């Protein structure tokens, strides 16, 4: 790969994530020799001005890992060109800068521009057979708009050249989940409806929507988080073992899971889904406004969603997956909880039949990265009747203290940028996956429209509307509250 072009190179995603990721890759000597990195955006500025901004952005993220040497190597690769990316004419000088080698273009711009940009790229010679394009989510806001954009992309690039990013797949713990499931013999025999009671996936954020509301209002939590990040996590938990780590082997298995998701019907929506919207409250000790106040007027956009998902296949029949995500929740916490069933018969008295006493695996993505397993142990002592207590064992880098120190926590985009540059699409979303996910999510949003399901208010700083707890309680379960 000769060049990486960052369309939207001066924007928030590029400055906060992409360029710091490239710095860390440079720091670790992982960028391909000779790779040029070209920022391309509307703003009329010189390469020197752009590079100065990049340096500030990178320094603020380097966090104890600043190296003048790494920076000067990155700086030597950087360049900038002011372009109108939707015009082939304006992209010609960019093509000249790229030269004859292969180019990967990252579209870190509004998805409403994707179709126009790829069309212009094709005309300007930036969509040749060796070139690649990386698309940031969300591509479209429903199946129809996804197809319209993706058809334009498909006119310019073949599927193997298209890298649809879901940054959750770049998170270290998510990949560790794949390692844990398929690199060990002890979990897979239990990974089914005989041993697992249910699965919970929580993506909680303390941040509000703030000035992102013009984007967010069109999408809501269902399309912003559930259609992509949360369904991807669900797929990795639920998929069958792929035959190898080849991109298509993995993605074939993920698509099968999405195809097996039971559609949410109009009748189900009230019982199996919860929409919420935050009103003012206190988060991290600070008073924060409600969504409607941030937006300046009332809206029916959900900032919280909880949903019960059933997977209609042999492995998961009867095992509900409970998904919830929201803004302005009490903690930034992302976790997958695999709740195993209690032992079939307890010889230790009734307590050991409780769900609390059953094994539980917690795959924590944020704030810490860790995978832990709760197992029952004997409480030390001479009690006449043997007492049990749950012990949490860490199965990953987080705890342990033996061996090497845990590696630096990487930005998810580091892995994904590197994979895109190397042409490995295993951790990227294939077209049919995205289509099936949209189809299922469209069913949910249609059920909300048909059933006039409006978001319920929840106070900022709480775990969403009470109805989200009821969703679990109705089935005799509750959301994980343990750390």
The minimum distance between CB 366 and ligand BG6, in angstroms, equals: 6
- Between 172 and 310, CB nearer to ligand BG6: 172
- Long-range CB contact pairs, 314-318, < 8 A, 24+: 315/191, 315/192, 315/193, 315/238, 315/240, 316/192, 316/193, 316/238, 316/260, 317/193, 318/193
- Between 213 and 440, CB nearer to ligand BG6: 213
The minimum distance between CB 205 and ligand BG6, in angstroms, equals: 5
Cα–Cα distance measured from residue 40 to residue 307, given in angstroms and rounded to the nearest whole number? 40
The minimum distance between CB 334 and ligand BG6, in angstroms, equals: 6
Region 345-374 residues binding ligand BG6, contact defined as CB under 6 A: 366
Q: How far is residue 186 CA from its own chain's centroid?
A: 27
The residue count for binding ligand BG6 (CB under 6 A) is 4
Report the length, in residues, of the chain.
483
Q: Three-class SS of residue 330? A: coil
Contact at 8 Å (CB) between 215 and 221?
no
- Between 334 and 425, CB nearer to ligand BG6: 334
Q: Three-class SS of residue 340? A: strand
- Between 195 and 366, CB nearer to ligand BG6: 366
The minimum distance between CB 78 and ligand BG6, in angstroms, equals: 25
Q: Is 229 a catalytic residue?
A: yes
- Between 334 and 339, CB nearer to ligand BG6: 334
224 binds ligand BG6 per the rule CB under 6 A: yes
Contact at 8 Å (CB) between 32 and 1?
yes
Closest-approach residue to ligand BG6 (CB): 224
The gap between the terminal CA atoms of the chain, to the nearest Å, is 44
- Between 132 and 229, CB nearer to ligand BG6: 229
- Between 103 and 135, CB nearer to ligand BG6: 135
Dump strand ranges (E) for 296-396: 304-309, 321-326, 333-340, 360-366, 370-378, 388-394
The vertex-150 CA angle with 217 and 428, nearest 5°, equals: 85
- Which string of x and - marks every residue 315-334 that binds ligand BG6 (by CB under 6 A)? -------------------x
- Between 220 and 320, CB nearer to ligand BG6: 220
Neighbouring-strand partners of residue 165: none
The minimum distance between CB 344 and ligand BG6, in angstroms, equals: 38
Of the residues 27, 167, 198, 229, only one is catalytic, namely 229
Q: Three-class SS of residue 334? A: strand
Cα–Cα distance measured from residue 447 to residue 437, given in angstroms and rounded to the nearest whole number? 16
The minimum distance between CB 224 and ligand BG6, in angstroms, equals: 5
- Out of 26, 150, 205, 294, point to the residue binding ligand BG6 (CB under 6 A): 205
- The tokens for 447 are 């059920």
Please, what's the b/e burial string for 115-143 (b: 16 or more CB within 10 A of its CB; e: otherwise)? bebbbbbbbbbbbeeebbbbbbbbbbbeb
Cα separation values, 188 from 192, 359, 397, Å: 8, 15, 21
Question: Dihedral of CA 371/415/8/140: which sign?
Answer: negative
The minimum distance between CB 455 and ligand BG6, in angstroms, equals: 16
The minimum distance between CB 336 and ligand BG6, in angstroms, equals: 13
- The tokens for 124 are 């300007």
Q: Which residues, 6 or more positions from 457, have their beta carbon under 8 angstroms from its beta carbon? A: 276, 277, 278, 279, 290, 465
Contact at 8 Å (CB) between 132 and 105?
yes
Active site (catalytic) residues: 229
Positions that interact with ligand BG6 (CB under 6 A): 205, 224, 334, 366
């Amino acid at each position: 790969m000769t060049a990486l072009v960052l369309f939207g190179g001066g924007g928030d995603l590029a400055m906060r994530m992409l360029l710091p990721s490239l710095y860390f890759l440079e720091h670790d000597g992982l960028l391909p020799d000779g790779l040029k990195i070209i920022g391309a955006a509307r703003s009329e500025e010189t390469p020197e001005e752009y590079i100065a901004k990049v340096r500030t952005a990178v320094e603020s993220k380097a966090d104890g890992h600043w190296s003048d040497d790494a920076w000067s190597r990155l700086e030597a690769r950087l360049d900038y060109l002011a372009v109108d990316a939707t015009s082939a004419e304006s992209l010609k000088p960019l093509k000249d800068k790229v030269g004859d080698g292969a180019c990967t273009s990252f579209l870190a711009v509004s998805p409403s521009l994707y179709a126009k940009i790829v069309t212009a790229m094709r005309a300007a010679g930036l969509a040749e057979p060796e070139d690649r394009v990386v698309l940031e989510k969300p591509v479209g806001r429903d199946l129809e708009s996804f197809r319209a954009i993706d058809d334009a992309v498909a006119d310019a690039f073949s599927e193997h050249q298209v890298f649809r990013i879901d940054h959750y797949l770049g998170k270290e713990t998510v990949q560790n989940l794949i390692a844990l499931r398929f690199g060990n013999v002890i979990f897979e025999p239990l990974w089914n409806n005989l041993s697992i009671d249910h699965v919970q996936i929580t993506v909680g954020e303390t941040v509000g929507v703030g000035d992102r509301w013009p984007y967010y209002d069109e999408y809501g939590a269902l399309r912003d988080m559930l259609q992509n990040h949360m369904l991807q996590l669900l797929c990795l938990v639920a998929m069958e073992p792929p035959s190898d780590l080849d991109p298509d082997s993995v993605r074939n298995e993920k698509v099968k899971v999405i195809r097996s998701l039971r559609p949410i019907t109009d009748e189900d929506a009230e019982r199996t889904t919860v929409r919420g919207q935050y009103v003012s409250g206190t988060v991290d000790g600070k008073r924060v406004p409600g969504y409607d106040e941030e937006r300046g007027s009332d809206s029916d956009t959900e900032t919280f969603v909880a949903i019960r998902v059933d997977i209609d296949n042999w492995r998961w029949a009867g095992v509900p997956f409970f998904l919830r995500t929201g803004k302005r929740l009490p903690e930034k916490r992302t976790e997958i909880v695999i709740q195993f069933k209690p032992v079939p018969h307890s010889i230790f008295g009734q307590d050991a039949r409780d769900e609390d006493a059953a094994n539980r695996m917690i795959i924590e993505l944020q704030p810490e990265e860790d995978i832990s397993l709760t197992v029952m142990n004997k409480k030390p002592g001479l009690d006449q009747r043997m007492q049990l207590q749950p012990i949490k064992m860490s199965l990953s880098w987080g705890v342990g203290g033996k061996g090497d120190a845990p590696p630096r926590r990487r930005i998810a985009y580091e892995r994904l940028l590197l994979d895109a540059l190397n042409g490995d699409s295993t951790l990227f979303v294939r077209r049919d996956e995205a289509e099936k996910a949209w189809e299922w999510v469209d069913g949910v949003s249609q059920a909300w429209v048909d059933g006039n399901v409006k978001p319920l208010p929840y106070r900022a700083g709480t775990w969403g509307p009470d109805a989200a707890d009821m969703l679990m309680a109705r089935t005799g379960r509750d959301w994980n509250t343990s750390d």
